[in-house]
Structure 1
Amino acid sequence: MDVLGIFIALGLLMFMAYRGFPVILFAPLFALLAVWMAGYPLLPTYTEVFMAKAVGYVKLYFPIFLLGAVFGKVMEDSGAARSIAKGLTGTFGRNQAILAVVLTCAILTYGGVSLFVVAFAVYPFAAALFREGNIPKRLIPATIALGSFTFTMDAFPGSPQIQNIIPTSYFKTTAFAAPILGTAGGLFVAGLGLWWLYRRKSQLMNRGEGYGKHTINEPEVFEAETLPSVWLSLIPLLLVLGGNALFTYVVLPDWYPESVIQQYDGLDIKQVLGIWSLILALLSGIAFAVLIRCIYWKQNREFLKENGTDSTLNLSRTLTAGAAGSLLAIMNTASEVGFGNVIASLPGFKTVADYLLHMNANPLVSEALSINILAGITGSASGGMSIALDTMGAKYLTWAHSVGVDPELLHRVASMSAGGMDTLPHNGAVITLLAICGLTHRQSYPDIFAITVIKTLAVPGVILLAFLTGWV
């Protein structure tokens, strides 16, 4: 009954998320269903496991969600995100629409813009480019997913996305951990993903399928809009990426004297260095993006009036919208973390966890399997990874030290594994992406799943490369 309860709870959560119901509400309900089937007490589990873990996640990562959402919103309202998207799509042209969209998403994501904001910012130009080239619209979600949810999210070193930051707290590493292996894994995903998308494009177009007739969320692109230059728009992204490296390696390690650190019991500078660095880097990017917003507003007041749009600067609205957007994102993820931790507390999961920890294999293999499984259960890369590392992170670190595995490699494998099977149908980012594009799971999910499989296959490739190159 323990294992059956886990699968029933997961299946119901996937079904309700697929139907558009809020995860915040149904995650605790289905978690408690699994608890009831296991014969555990409901209310103590809810308050002491579900809520405790959800709140703990918020405590650790709320600043990253908040500043990331604000940064993305300022980039969107300033026109900088649209400028980058338009510049790249214009450079590559309609014959290379897929490559242009993937690169646009990759630049924005690697520069620190939230995955959700990237989808909103890029979709209008992706749709226009696909329509012009008569490329099937059903491929747009998978194209955006490849550029946003894969190699720049957790593989490339220095990525400011939360999936690359979480392991720093457990393994005392930085966002730039295992740079060579991460870059190799990221290039594998990007290359194979592009091959799949171009192959699918040829198959569908050879069958006579074009862009198709669509009426839901078909975007209108204003050609008369004055946008910041592409190079100016790239500066906030470079500030986030470069600032992250500067604060990580130069500024923060010795910023506070030991006497100050000792005033905070239990504070280990190595555990918080990655989060502190990204907070400061995002603040610098936000400041420059606000400057662009002011310049953009002055040049577009008349255009905004003509199109019936609010022509006031209204920075407060931009910042408030970004802050409000972060709340939904982190509460959804925290709710999934609570759900996963309840599942992880049940006897059925403990049996699986014990097997993974005591399997006759390398810690990297065990870590990759456990994180991928939990990311699939929760439908969240960051949620699944947080649960796995909360439960087994210290044991993996000890195991790695005992067999001579570098903690940086533990970090990179953890990040890339989290971004594997997390994109099952109940994944919040997948549901949001399909809604933005005005498409359904039936139309576009098979290609998203193919990208997910490619991403999952990259992890054993990285582990094998680590063995071949002497990292292990």
Structure 2
Amino acid sequence: MFIQVVAILLALGLLMFFAYRGYPVIVFAPIFTLLAVLISGLALMPSYTETYMVNAANYVKTYFPIFLLGAIFGKVMELNGAASSIAQTIVKGLGSKRAILSVILACGVLTYGGVSLFVVAFAVYPFASAIFREANVPKRLIPGTIALGAFTFTMDALPGTPQVQNIIPTPYFGTDAYAAPVVGIIGGVLVFAAGLYWLERRRKQAELAGEGYGTGHKNEPEVLTDQKYPNIWLAIVPLLLVLVFNYLLSRGFLTVNNWYSAELLKTFNIANVKTVSSTWALIIALVIGILAAICINVRRVHNQLAAGLTAAAMGALLAIFNTASEVGFGNVVKTLPGFKLIQNWILGLSSHPLISEAISVNILAGVTGSASGGLSIALEVMGKQYLASAQAAGISPELLHRIASMASGGMDTLPHNGAVITLLAITGLTHRQSYKDIFAITVIKTLAVFLLAVVLSLF
């Protein structure tokens, strides 16, 4: 049994190492999956075609519309200038004295409104650079600031956020994007406040040491002061439409739960509409947001639409197939003999389902370097067990949803995380210069999740 546990740990370690080195997960996830299968002495080809590929394909089938529409929405908001208008207004409105806070809020508004994380980083960075330079705040603090605004409380904590990390738990627990709103808001406020305190403390330390913005930086953006952006009130309309329609279609009078009869749904093998309703609601809300974003500046978007849609589609395909590869990996791993020992070890760390869930999701998100990948693997492998344990203990599935979603955004931002690598590339900085602050935000987020899980376990 020892060698079978080693097989899994070796495969996980190799996947983490190669992902950190920049090799494509799509290529290497199946390779290391089959390595673990081979060492475990199980059938190679059936494990690949009937377990790995089937589960990867199921993930694509379930979430591809969200990945694609989210990428298109973000790209259109970038093309029509709305994303830049929102970022510029917030940054200029708060001024250089609140440089860090203004960048966090700009990222938060865009992320919570449905703009993808990568588009947020591209849209906000030019304004962040300008205001940090004006305030003489070290440039090395920009990645940590953007990470706090885009990768934490608006990604998976605040209720209703249209990011995929908040949608993945819905079919496992029969919940929607607004699960456990009070817990999510408390968690989001904790992360926001603690993260802002850390970054402001780092700014003051740099100020006392006489360190300014710095010189000789790479990828310094040019902010065109004469660039015309849409009016701020017009720019936020698509974001508001996504949020409003997502709510109305999830819990309001337009709820998709009532659109089709149970008899009709059975013909599509849908036993419970709640397993798909959150996805349906977000798909429709994003389509409405995209149409509104195009209408803001039809001429400007039309001139770049073909190239923009191609870029968005390519980005969505890469993102979902990376995650689907990790999901396939996780589903094969759970069939291996050694996994039972690892699963018992994780479950044995705490008898309470919320704490155990937070641990398992954090570990897998950290290993895979992906919030959505680690969350999908954990719930695919142990979701039913957590739900059964929670029901036996009288714990609401909504709490399972919120803790799982927030935990996915904890240790996922280790150095090999794709979003971290991309963020550093956008800002022209290195891990050595800026990762310390990103890691601090990672630790704050992780501690907040466990604090919530522990407090909830006492009631």
Normalised TM-score (structure 1)? 0.92
1:51 offset after TM fit, Å?
2.1
Is the Cα contact below 8 Å between 1:5 and 1:38 reproduced in 2?
Answer: yes
Structure 2 counterpart SS, 1:227: coil
Structure 2 counterpart SS, 1:275: helix
Is the Cα contact below 8 Å between 1:45 and 1:342 reproduced in 2?
Answer: yes
Matched, 1:211 2:213: yes
Match of 1:183 in 2: 185
Structure 1: where are the runs of 5+ without partners? 298-311
Structure 1 counterpart SS, 2:218: coil
Match of 1:301 in 2: none
1:456 offset after TM fit, Å?
0.5
1:360 offset after TM fit, Å?
5.5
Is the Cα contact below 8 Å between 1:185 and 1:461 reproduced in 2?
Answer: no
Is the Cα contact below 8 Å between 2:169 and 2:405 reproduced in 1?
Answer: yes
- Alpha-carbon spacing, 1:340–1:141, altered in 2? closer, same or farther (3 Å): farther
Moved more, 191-200 or 17-26: 17-26
Paired letter, 2:281: S
Structure 2 counterpart SS, 1:125: helix
Over aligned residues, Cα RMSD in angstroms?
A: 1.9
Match of 1:460 in 2: 450
Is the Cα contact below 8 Å between 1:337 and 1:378 reproduced in 2?
Answer: no
Matched, 1:260 2:245: no
1:53 offset after TM fit, Å?
2.2
Match of 2:67 in 1: 65
Match of 2:53 in 1: 51
Match of 1:269 in 2: 273
Partners in 1 of 2:402 and 2:71 — Cα distance? 24
Match of 2:235 in 1: 233
Paired letter, 1:429: A
Partners in 2 of 1:127 and 1:52 — Cα distance? 45
Matched, 1:373 2:377: no
220, 223, 232: which one aligns with 1:221: 223
324, 344, 347: which one aligns with 1:354: 344
1:354 offset after TM fit, Å?
2.3
Could you list the structure 1 runs, at least 4 aligned residues long, displaced by more than 6 angstroms after superposition.
none
1:38 offset after TM fit, Å?
3.2
Match of 2:438 in 1: 448
Structure 2: where are the runs of 5+ without partners? none
Can you list the C-alpha shifts for 1:229-268, whole angstroms capped at 9, x where unaligned?
Answer: 1111111011111110001122212122333223222342
Paired letter, 2:441: I
Can you list the C-alpha shifts for 1:193-247, whole angstroms capped at 9, x where unaligned?
Answer: 0111111122233223222224422111111111001111111011111110001
Moved more, 415-424 or 329-338: 329-338
Can you list the C-alpha shifts for 1:138-177, whole angstroms capped at 9, x where unaligned?
Answer: 1111111111111011110011110001111111111001
Paired letter, 2:284: L
Paired letter, 1:391: V
Moved more, 59-68 or 18-27: 18-27
Matched, 1:339 2:325: no
Is the Cα contact below 8 Å between 1:68 and 1:282 reproduced in 2?
Answer: yes
Partners in 2 of 1:203 and 1:407 — Cα distance? 43
Matched, 1:245 2:247: yes
403, 411, 429: which one aligns with 1:439: 429
Is the Cα contact below 8 Å between 1:397 and 1:407 reproduced in 2?
Answer: yes
Percent sequence identity is 60
Match of 2:25 in 1: 23
Match of 2:124 in 1: 122
376, 385, 393: which one aligns with 1:395: 385
364, 367, 372: which one aligns with 1:382: 372
Match of 2:150 in 1: 148
Paired letter, 1:183: I
Match of 1:315 in 2: 305
1:337 offset after TM fit, Å?
2.2
Can you list the C-alpha shifts for 1:266-316, whole angstroms capped at 9, x where unaligned?
Answer: 34211111100000000110010001131656xxxxxxxxxxxxxx72423
98, 102, 117: which one aligns with 2:100: 98
Is the Cα contact below 8 Å between 2:157 and 2:187 reproduced in 1?
Answer: yes
1:396 offset after TM fit, Å?
1.3
Is the Cα contact below 8 Å between 1:74 and 1:293 reproduced in 2?
Answer: no
Match of 1:303 in 2: none
Is the Cα contact below 8 Å between 1:228 and 1:296 reproduced in 2?
Answer: no
Structure 2 counterpart SS, 1:347: coil
Is the Cα contact below 8 Å between 1:67 and 1:279 reproduced in 2?
Answer: yes
1:359 offset after TM fit, Å?
5.7
- Alpha-carbon spacing, 1:397–1:15, altered in 2? closer, same or farther (3 Å): closer
Is the Cα contact below 8 Å between 1:109 and 1:148 reproduced in 2?
Answer: yes
1:399 offset after TM fit, Å?
1.2
- Alpha-carbon spacing, 1:216–1:346, altered in 2? closer, same or farther (3 Å): farther
Match of 2:408 in 1: 418
Match of 1:135 in 2: 137
Matched, 1:294 2:298: yes
196, 199, 209: which one aligns with 1:197: 199
Is the Cα contact below 8 Å between 2:407 and 2:446 reproduced in 1?
Answer: yes
Match of 1:305 in 2: none
Structure 1 counterpart SS, 2:315: helix
Match of 2:38 in 1: 36
Can you list the C-alpha shifts for 1:428-460, whole angstroms capped at 9, x where unaligned?
Answer: 111111111111112211211111111011112
1:353 offset after TM fit, Å?
1.0
1:83 offset after TM fit, Å?
0.3
1:37 offset after TM fit, Å?
3.5
Moved more, 194-203 or 348-357: 348-357
1:105 offset after TM fit, Å?
0.6
Partners in 1 of 2:200 and 2:339 — Cα distance? 40
108, 111, 117: which one aligns with 2:110: 108
- Alpha-carbon spacing, 1:72–1:397, altered in 2? closer, same or farther (3 Å): same
1:8 offset after TM fit, Å?
3.4
Structure 1 counterpart SS, 2:48: helix
- Alpha-carbon spacing, 1:6–1:462, altered in 2? closer, same or farther (3 Å): same
Matched, 1:326 2:291: no
Moved more, 405-414 or 203-212: 203-212
Structure 2 counterpart SS, 1:264: coil
Can you list the C-alpha shifts for 1:386-422, whole angstroms capped at 9, x where unaligned?
Answer: 1111111112111111110011111111101111111
Paired letter, 2:342: V
Structure 1 counterpart SS, 2:237: helix
Paired letter, 2:99: A
Paired letter, 1:407: P
Can you list the C-alpha shifts for 1:334-364, whole angstroms capped at 9, x where unaligned?
Answer: 2222233333333333212123345662111
Matched, 1:282 2:282: no
Normalised TM-score (structure 2)? 0.94
